Amino acid sequence: MNTKKSKPEVTYKEKQLIFSMLNKISLFGGLTAGELECLIPMLTTASFKKGEAVFTQGESPNNIFIIQSGEIKIVKQLDETEVELVRFKEGNLFGETELIGIFKYIASAIAITDVKLLVFSKSALYSLHSKNTKLFSKIILNVARESCRRTANTDEYWLGELAKLRKNHKEQI
C-alpha cells in the first residue's frame, strides 16, 4: 500500500470530526465514548489520488479503511475483464472482512476521486487483544455482523437476478 501517512497527533477539531464519523459506522457500533477515545490514537490517515490503488487483488490484507472523503470502487479482475463489484463513499468502511480472514484480497480497491482515508491497521486491531479484550471482542463481533449484513445483501441481489432470469426464460418458452 503506497500511502502518505499523517502525523499521529491530531488537533482537537480533527479528533471531534473523527469521533463523530466513528459513531456512525457499524464497525464501532455499541462502543462507549471512552472506547472510541481509546481507538482514535490508533488510527492513521492515508491519501490516494484518483486512479491509485488502495490495495490490489492478491495482496495480503493489513488494514481496515474508513473513507473520510472521496469515493472508492472495488473491482475484480476476471481474465481480461475488470468487473466493478461495489462503490464506497464518505463514511463507508472496507477491508474489514479480509483483515480477520485468512485470505488475500479477492479484488482491488481503486480511488475514483482523490480520497482521504482513516486507517486501522491489523497490528493496532490485534494489539487490543492484549490491551483491552472487551473492546477487541466488540470490534470482532461488529466485523462479523457487518460481514453477515453484506452477505445477506449479496444473497438478496443474486436471488433477485436469478428470479429475473427464470421469469425471462419462462416467457421465452
Q: pLDDT-based confidence at 154, cuts 50/70/90?
A: confident
Looking at residue 6, its pLDDT comes to 46
- The confidence score (pLDDT) of residue 70 equals 97
Say how far apart CA 3 and CA 105 lie, in whole Å.
18
CA quadruple 124, 129, 132, 138: dihedral sign: positive
For the chain, the domains span 12-172
Q: Stretch 69-86: mean pLDDT, rounded? A: 93
- The CATH code that applies to domain 12-172 is 2.60.120.10
pTM confidence score: 0.80
Helices (H), the chain: 12-23, 33-39, 96-100, 122-131, 133-172
- CB-based burial of residue 117 (10 Å sphere; 0-12 exposed, 13-18 middle, 19+ buried)? buried
Cell 464497525 belongs to residue: 27
pLDDT tens-place string over residues 48-58 = 999 999 999 99
